Amino acid sequence: MNSSKLSRQVSRKEPAKWIEYLARFGYGAKGLVYVVVGFLAFQAAFNWGGQTTGSRGAFWAIASQPFGKAMLFVVAVGLLGYVVWRFVQALKDPEHDDDGAGAWARRASYFVSGLIYGSLAIFAMRIVFGQPSSSGNGGSGNSTAATLMSQPFGRWLVGFVGVAVIAYGFYCFYRAFSTKFRRKLKLHEMSEKEEKFSTRIAQFGLTSKGVVSVVIGYFFIQAAKTYDPSKARTTEGALQAIQQQPFGAWLMGLVALGLIAYGIHLGVQARYRRISPS
């Protein structure tokens, strides 16, 4: 009887452990994508040969390196692991965040995040196996807005997306300045210097991600107001808009460094995040 109980406990724990490994792999893969996006944008800010791009453009940049498709395959698998983790968060609330009126909204955001990164993982796999017909960034904001605009109440849908993205941007600001992200890190496993560094790099990264999100949301709202989906932008367009401002090169360079910092923050999460899949 005792042995059967033990075997049932092991069978319950094994899948959870695999999910934890996938989640950590996923955070690392997502972090690498942000580092590449930020690095290319930083180069572009000062005309050093880079380009403003988003996640899909980063995939092409990775694929163009020596052994790039093998590297991209690893990134795609990592993103699929992140997708699995997001769906687990949405369905099971493994981190016990289910504590109030915002619980269902939080679960919905995890589910949407899983869908978004699932589509990115599929796009990366298509590059690996030579299926995309273009080396462009693909999946631009105006194509998303055009799809939404063609639906019933499409203009309102586009506007809602804009408001939601801006709200997410301010949530990033809140996370940066409240430092609540520290609660999900195994701080006891860090040295004092590592803890301080991880906090500062996360604050910088989350602030920059918030800035980009607010700019993207603004463009979606403009698309809704003018009934013109071509006005919508994604990360690439947001960075270009920042570059066009006074002192734009310096502003974009700063935001680009912030995106690199956000990628490093995700790498820290890959190593030190408290992940309880069961």
Q: What is the per-residue pLDDT across 2-56, written as a single tens digit (0 to 9) for each? A: 544 444 444 444 457 888 888 999 999 999 999 999 999 999 888 877 778 888 8
Q: What pLDDT does 266 receive?
A: 96
- Which tens digits make up the pLDDT trace of 241-273? 998 888 888 999 999 999 999 999 999 999 999
Residue 252 lies in a domain: yes
Count: domains in the chain: 1
Q: What pLDDT does 277 receive?
A: 67
Residue 85 lies in a domain: yes
How far apart CA 72 and CA 70 sit, in angstroms, is 5
Q: What share of the chain is helix, strand, coil (3-state, %, to 5)?
A: 80, 0, 20
Report in angstroms the alpha-carbon separations of 48 from 39, 255, 256.
11, 16, 13
Residue 268 lies in a domain: yes
Other CB atoms within 10 A of residue 66 CB = 6
Q: Is the Cβ–Cβ distance between 95 and 89 less than 8 Å? A: yes
Does the pLDDT at position 91 exceed 80? yes
Residue-range definition of the domain harbouring residue 106: 16-272
How far apart CA 22 and CA 176 sit, in angstroms, is 26
Residue 189 lies in a domain: yes
Residue 3 lies in a domain: no
Q: Is the Cβ–Cβ distance between 274 and 24 less than 8 Å? A: no
Q: Is the Cβ–Cβ distance between 194 and 220 less than 8 Å? A: no
Residue 6 lies in a domain: no
Residue 1 lies in a domain: no
Residue 10 lies in a domain: no
How far apart CA 163 and CA 276 sit, in angstroms, is 32
How far apart CA 198 and CA 185 sit, in angstroms, is 10
Can you give the pTM of this predicted structure?
Answer: 0.85
